[in-house]
Amino acid sequence: MNFFEYRDGEMHVENIKVSMIADKVGTPFYLYSSASLEYQYNQFKDAFGDLDLLICYAVKANTNQAVIKTLGSLGAGADVVSEGEMRRAIKAGISPQKIVYSGVAKTVAEMTYALKKGIFQFNVESEPELYQLSEVATALGKVADITFRVNPDVDAKTHAKISTGKSENKFGIPWKNIHQICAKAAKLSGIKLVGLDLHIGSQITDLAPFEEAFTRVGNLVETLREEGHDITRLDLGGGIGISYDGENDNPILSHDYAKMVKRVVGHLQCQIIIEPGRFLVGNAGILVSKVVYVKEGAERSFLIIDAAMNDLIRPSMYDAYHAIDPVIENKDAKVAYDIVGPVCETGDTFAKGRIINPLKKDQLIVIRSVGAYGAVMASTYNTRRLIPEVLVKTNEFAVVRPRPSYEDIIGLDQLPSWLSE
């Protein structure tokens, strides 16, 4: 469902005009829909019926506490990749007993914090990590529930920078080595092996790679049980893609994914853990910006807006497509623009030759499908201030991360004594 729609020619989010929020907050800003978050989570959860399932929202997609708390109130746990994300999840009300800790470089300090909080499980990615975790847990008198992240050597057919399940990637333990490392884990103090984990990439829009990987890991579960290991959990990771209105018009549907999961691994009687991120929040957010100038170049027209690559880096970093629309519709013939921002980089480009309604100075536009990997990847490059995040609930809205002042960001610098007056 689309919770950002035109009514009488003007874009609304739920029951509020986008232009009204822009007047109050100032552009640019991120704008999220509570109804979209709730709808996406509930339809995904409901697709699995009575399967023993724990949905752990992948916090890295959008770390705003209002987003985490909205999903947590619906029953979500959290998948985290740093102590900082863990602290955010806990502060937002997620029980540590619903937190799984992923990531290839967990430090002793991070392990210590997680063990003291009593998190649900560690997704262990390497043999050195296993030994380090055993040492830390034993010293604390704790036992860490672990799954091993299996690298199934499956090509997810996604962007090279977000592929994680091939043998060439840095993630996980090669699936052919799992038997040996499980045997080693069984002999370690402070460690309880409870399952296997995998994550083959992000923005995957075909069920086939998932099925191939899940089948391979499901077979491993059966053989490990034959070898005497009590495997009770199967963490299938995340990676389900969304439609970016042009990049993929046929995304994976929740009921198709759930049907495949139950068919491929349902017979194992494991608790199933799934870690959706982009799938839950990607289409729940837009970026609202204002036209600064319309510039007629020698060969093309430029729409220069007040949002920039430091606010939304996906088009520059991944050549990502995002639908872009005016806030106020008009019936004029559409024209082609290169839509660019103010940062001093040619790469500060959101779209080239994009055909949209003609726009003028000070008119508003929106960049769609930015709820995931938008605000979380933002920076203060060019000493630009981070932009606000706003959450809507029916007829209300709230700023859930304010725009910092210039003093806030410049004040982070400290002069050494020899440069101080």
- Write the DSSP string, 108-168: HHHHHHHHHHT-SEEEE-SHHHHHHHHHHHHHHT--EEEEEEEE------S-GGGB-SSTT
Our answer to whether residue 344 is catalytic in this structure is yes
Q: Where are the beta strands (DSSP E) in 141-279?
A: 144-151, 173-174, 191-197, 233-235, 271-274
Q: Decide: 107 and 129 in contact? Cβ < 8 Å.
A: no
CA dist 396 → 12, 13, 124 (Å): 12, 10, 42
User: Would you say 77 and 56 are in contact if contact means Cβ atoms under 8 Å apart?
Assistant: yes
Helix/strand/coil for 265: helix
| Of 56, 182, 270, 344, catalytic | 344
For Cα atoms 67, 72, 75, give the angle at the middle one, nearest 5 degrees.
140
Pairing of strands 99-101, 121-124: parallel
What is the Cα 190 distance to its own chain's centre?
31
Torsion of CA 218, 222, 224, 228, to 10 degrees: 150
Q: How far apart are CA 191 and CA 326, in angstroms?
A: 55
**Strands 99-101 and 16-17, how do they pair?**
unpaired
Contacts of 90 (CB under 8 A, 6+ apart): 96, 99, 117
Omega into 28 within 30° of 0, i.e. cis? yes
8 Å CB contact between 287 and 28: yes
Report the amino acid identity of residue 358: P
Give CA–CA dist 356/367, Å, rounded. 12
CA distance 112 to 107: 8
Q: Contact at 8 Å (CB) between 370 and 46?
A: no
Q: Are the CB atoms for 149 and 213 separated by under 8 Å?
A: no
Which residues are marked as active site?
344
